[in-house]
Amino acid sequence: MEKRHPDMELIFEGNKQWVERKRLEDPEFFERRAKGQSPKYLYIGCSDSRIPANEISGREPGEMFVHRNIANMVVHTDVNLLSVLQYAIEVLKVKHVIVVGHYGCGGVAAAMSDKQFGLIDNWLTNIKDVIRLHEEEFHSIEDEEARFRRLVELNVVEQVINLSKTSIIQNALRREDPPQLHGLVYDLREGILKDLNVQTDHIKQYDRIYGMQ
């Protein structure tokens, strides 16, 4: 048998230690989770390795359904995202859909530049669209870091709005107990989540465009 790479040995050793800790804390931890999942939340976040969804929210495994991509985007042609969203809403019946961005996001920083990065440029165009929608506010901010942080927030707001435009969410909002949409930003320096209090009610005025029966 070929010897594992030392980096992979860290994974397996860490797994064993984690299992031991969990069994000491709760002997039935794994048995309960093997029976199924019923999460209350769908977390749509950035792929950044510094932001573990469960840990920053203080949730245990099984409490949060998670989808991650570059810069926490909700793109209407992304079949992966839409599949996760549909499963979470229609099968798991989650109560909350949360888009979580973070200050210092590399994807947002790349979209702010005028450089080419390759294939990802096609993805970053979606963030550049956010700049276009908020161009006046964006360019009125003179401090570069403040402008960067504000674009992170505006990107989250627009992704929550994008969620509200999907047929999956529009259908779910007709239920007696519809899911709630939220936009949050995580501060890497402080570890704190900030609620942007995103309002999507104004989308109703565009029902003639986005509305679906």
| Structure confidence at residue 208 (pLDDT) | 64
| Structure confidence at residue 155 (pLDDT) | 98
Assess whether 27 and 64 both reside in one domain.
no
Is 50 annotated in the active site? Answer: yes
Closest CA to 57 of 70, 73, 44: 44
29: containing domain: 1-36
Candidates 67, 102, 149, 182; catalytic one: 102
Assess whether 73 and 89 both reside in one domain.
yes
Assess whether 163 and 95 both reside in one domain.
yes
Assess whether 12 and 89 both reside in one domain.
no
Assess whether 72 and 26 both reside in one domain.
no
Assess whether 192 and 168 both reside in one domain.
yes
Is 102 annotated in the active site? Answer: yes
Assess whether 86 and 20 both reside in one domain.
no
Assess whether 153 and 57 both reside in one domain.
yes
Assess whether 60 and 71 both reside in one domain.
yes
Assess whether 31 and 99 both reside in one domain.
no
Give the residue ranges of the chain where pLDDT is below 50: none
Assess whether 2 and 63 both reside in one domain.
no
CATH number for position 42: 3.40.1050.10
Candidates 48, 67, 134, 149; catalytic one: 48
Candidates 50, 76, 139, 175; catalytic one: 50
Is 7 annotated in the active site? Answer: no
Assess whether 16 and 96 both reside in one domain.
no
Candidates 23, 26, 46, 143; catalytic one: 46
| Structure confidence at residue 201 (pLDDT) | 72
Provide the domain count of the chain.
Answer: 2
Closest CA to 160 of 105, 202, 118, 131: 202
